[in-house]
Chain A
């Protein structure tokens, strides 16, 4: 079956611009996560959605970051007024239910010039 997909695969933007990153989770998975991996670093948790519950936003690094999940499926991560330190690979993962194994998408490589 189809795995987690993310778009775009690469995004180059200028400092100060807004960007939107998209994640399509595996069908039927109720939990969705966003992580980012900066150069030379491990994966850093950003935000978590579980069903219709309020998302856990505890990992978002600043108020320039926001995410939504429409209809319990597709999710969009928005970064406003991008900064160079936002450059990273942004990874989305989904799982059947919270504690279960997470399946990752290929990521979006964001470069802020």
Chain B
């Protein structure tokens, strides 16, 4: 089966600019996650979707971050405006079921550098 696809792989922007990341989950996976991984740390959950509805976005900085999952398949994560501390790898993951009831599958991530 095809894995989780993410693009772009790398992005460099200046602070206060905007950026968007795209994710295509494994076919049939109802649950989609966006994680932020800062260098040297574990992934931190930003938002979790079940089909096209938001399950949890308690750790999403909503003043600058937004995410959507139209038609319950692809998802985009946007940052506007970016800050220096947003420099990180943004990981998309998908699974058949909510939480850890089924294996989590990760994409290769997008490495964002904010200068």
Verify that A and B bind, or say they do not: no
Which A residues have a C-beta under 8 Å from some C-beta of B? none
Which B residues have a C-beta under 8 Å from some C-beta of A? none
